[in-house]
Structure 1
């Protein structure tokens, strides 16, 4: 049973485990020459058969949403589109030279910022160039993040013509007071229009991003939000915990006095989760829910669910290449993140070099722990190998025993299973096996786990 005391105990900062090691713990031992060799090796080992997935970061927004922790530039000047697209295509061509052949494409995801800041014609030029130089796999997944206020019929049509059939709309909350506080104003009718237009054009998967723990949120306002959400019946829902990190994002200080308490925030999650269950959504894990016929849930049932920097996915591809400023590449053998500064990214790419600001080459131990943590997150169970048992310290073993007593995990020999209650605390469970974090001496900034 989840009690307030249990919530308080585990509501401490923890990584979100979109990677292992997490970005602050990378060794930063990747340079341009290393990256050439690592990408070539990974492509030969995995890319030729499984294909590759692309994440393209489009960082511009016309206005600032104060809750947002993404890398973005606020501007109304759309002249920034062409030079940025030129840089992304230049970066893509650098990869093509390494491959020496057309790559098999397992998926594309457009993230931001606001991808639909870009004109439909600009997106068409960017994506057509990439698709013309690729072989699209039969079950490739093409998706994008859309702001309901500026995702037009033309955007949806152009992307649908290019093979996109998945869209994620950033809703966050429908309450007007909450929207004003976080500077994310979007009337229900705009969201309804964007959702219906996507369905009419053949989009088969629509996701809504919602956040709990925002300023002025209450059970009453959240009930109204979920009532509106249910009317639009998205296929998937990401119900995220609001990450309050004003030291990194100063705009968040503007509503600090109006945030719910830790207990109130957890009650909002429990309330929202129950509402979702009542209308037929199932919990995938890590704040994600879907309908039972959705491919994500079917993959969870089959044990084939995967997770990367874009979130949960059904794609088996081990290579995720990030294009654009601040984007992260995961090639299984290593990670690399591009420069966050748009100007620095564009100037470095123009010189023909990689715009890598940080990276990490995986050790054998890293690979074992990474696969173990992914199993916990995606399958809610894993086998604790001898190598992992050996690196667990006394404190971690004691905490693991406590979690078993609290019925958050079930240990039987070397098999660990995350219970239904434990899914809510999955970040803290994974943290027990994060050897690099345990060895870290300096203070790191992570959002609270709950």
Structure 2
């Protein structure tokens, strides 16, 4: 382990405390990322296309019909030309670009079924393309998808249109085309600039090429540029990742997502190609994380929460300061809590008090659409207890504070009575200085933000008797 002290400085200048290595290890347990509650692993196969259609109908004909908030739409493009060994996403590795034609035909069918349920012209304020590699599609194919979406939905003024980009698959000219299509936010998958690490994970992309693309994106007027990084990769050291942090600082993206690599080869086949002996030891991972956080803070980035950073004038940082931060399946967002349409293989959606997920394999996805039905294979209708706990967990994850009175008024409960056990379980976190339990609220401290998932887990009813937490990534 590096001789550097393995501590992490708190994000606020007015809170100079640090998290020691011992404290972080104490709370570094496997746990959900809470892009939803209940989490996707709780979805059940008893929830199918009919349940999803009824949820759509409730939006159109229910009590809020006519006044429903704009939708968020997620489009999953599963294809990649080559496999990245660390990847745990739902993907199809192929160099046969003609396979995209059948997939886009299926997407057209799925969009049509959604429109049949919701009606044409439902407002959309957030659109996100993820994968896989959305830029596997040609410019003409991206034109086709965007045209279908604009025919079917009404994209409202000021909407966020974002796309994930593999730097190896785009040029400045392609970025210009994305901008012409209306995309105003772009996310570059960087992971690490060190050549040895890139070779170990089978993703080689020179710093110079990413620099050229980010420079072009900025000149094209994208509202926000994001860079994804991963710590804990094979052959990665504290020193090598510090160089990557410095290079990212030079590029100055508006946002940075810093993810922890979770080595789960038993679940994700590509990870079996990673040499386990080349992975950094836990102490090295912690030192690498501490150095990265310190590096971003020193370069003027604000800590948003969990694994996200943003420049102070970025909309995400502003929303964090103003208490308007939200969270969905794409992570932290400035968009108000809203229904989400998930399109494509494995895509997850939310409609009212229900979550749903499409088939994870292409044959099953195609087969459902050929039969004229939504490709939904599982989901969950939230109970009253689910809705209550979701409100608490999302308040913790987004605002870092839960006001008892607001929960009581919205859910007609007495907070201290319903959550008496959970408040007792918070005692060790309070003693460690990670939360403050006030007479009428729970406040996550500046230090506690680094392990906010551990705070949220206290209120997760499904984890209270769960013996399979190891299926989740670790918090640090």
TM score, norm. by length of structure 1? 0.96
Distance of 2:415 and 2:386 partners within structure 1: 10
Q: Measure how far apart 1:156 and its partner are.
A: 1.8
Q: Is 1:370 aligned to 2:414, yes or no? A: no
Distance of 2:456 and 2:260 partners within structure 1: 17
Structure 2 counterpart of 1:67: 86
Distance of 1:151 and 1:287 partners within structure 2: 26
Structure 2 counterpart of 1:141: 160
> Is residue 191–residue 229 contact of structure 2 (8 Å, CA) maintained in 1?
yes
Distance of 2:66 and 2:80 partners within structure 1: 33
Q: Is 1:431 aligned to 2:457, yes or no? A: yes
Q: Measure how far apart 1:245 and its partner are.
A: 1.2
> Is residue 53–residue 317 contact of structure 1 (8 Å, CA) maintained in 2?
no
Structure 2 counterpart of 1:204: 223
Secondary structure of the 1:410 match is strand
Structure 2 counterpart of 1:419: 445
* Deviation digits for residues 240-279 of structure 1 (CA, Å, limit 9, x no counterpart): 1111111111332422111112222111111101111111
Q: Measure how far apart 1:132 and its partner are.
A: 2.3
> Is residue 106–residue 369 contact of structure 2 (8 Å, CA) maintained in 1?
yes
Q: Is 1:335 aligned to 2:352, yes or no? A: no
Structure 2 counterpart of 1:326: 346
Secondary structure of the 1:307 match is strand
Q: Is 1:301 aligned to 2:318, yes or no? A: no
Distance of 1:142 and 1:176 partners within structure 2: 32
Deviates more, 1:342-351 or 1:358-367: 342-351
Secondary structure of the 1:50 match is coil
Structure 2 counterpart of 1:291: 311
**How has the CA–CA distance of structure 1 residues 390 and 256 changed in structure 2, closer, same or farther, with 3 Å as cutoff?**
farther
- Match for residue 23 of structure 1 among 37, 40, 50: 40
Q: Measure how far apart 1:441 and its partner are.
A: 5.4
> Is residue 167–residue 206 contact of structure 1 (8 Å, CA) maintained in 2?
yes
- Match for residue 355 of structure 1 among 375, 380, 391: 375
Secondary structure of the 1:96 match is helix
Deviates more, 1:76-85 or 1:434-443: 434-443
Deviates more, 1:248-257 or 1:18-27: 248-257
The count of residues paired between Structure 1 and Structure 2 equals 449
Distance of 2:99 and 2:267 partners within structure 1: 25
CA RMSD, 1 decimal? 1.7
Distance of 1:48 and 1:350 partners within structure 2: 33
Q: Measure how far apart 1:46 and its partner are.
A: 7.1
Q: Measure how far apart 1:229 and its partner are.
A: 0.9
Structure 2 counterpart of 1:246: 265
Q: Measure how far apart 1:78 and its partner are.
A: 0.5
Structure 2 counterpart of 1:404: 430
Distance of 2:470 and 2:241 partners within structure 1: 32
> Is residue 336–residue 356 contact of structure 1 (8 Å, CA) maintained in 2?
yes
> Is residue 7–residue 263 contact of structure 1 (8 Å, CA) maintained in 2?
no
Structure 2 counterpart of 1:6: 23
TM score, norm. by length of structure 2? 0.91
Q: Measure how far apart 1:353 and its partner are.
A: 0.7
Secondary structure of the 1:428 match is helix
Q: Measure how far apart 1:36 and its partner are.
A: 0.9
Secondary structure of the 2:471 match is coil
- Match for residue 111 of structure 1 among 130, 137, 143: 130
Secondary structure of the 1:211 match is strand
Q: Is 1:260 aligned to 2:280, yes or no? A: yes
> Is residue 57–residue 326 contact of structure 1 (8 Å, CA) maintained in 2?
yes
Q: Tell me, which stretches of 5 or more residues in structure 1 are unaligned?
A: none
Deviates more, 1:286-295 or 1:365-374: 365-374
**How has the CA–CA distance of structure 1 residues 212 and 107 changed in structure 2, closer, same or farther, with 3 Å as cutoff?**
same
- Match for residue 49 of structure 2 among 12, 32, 35: 32
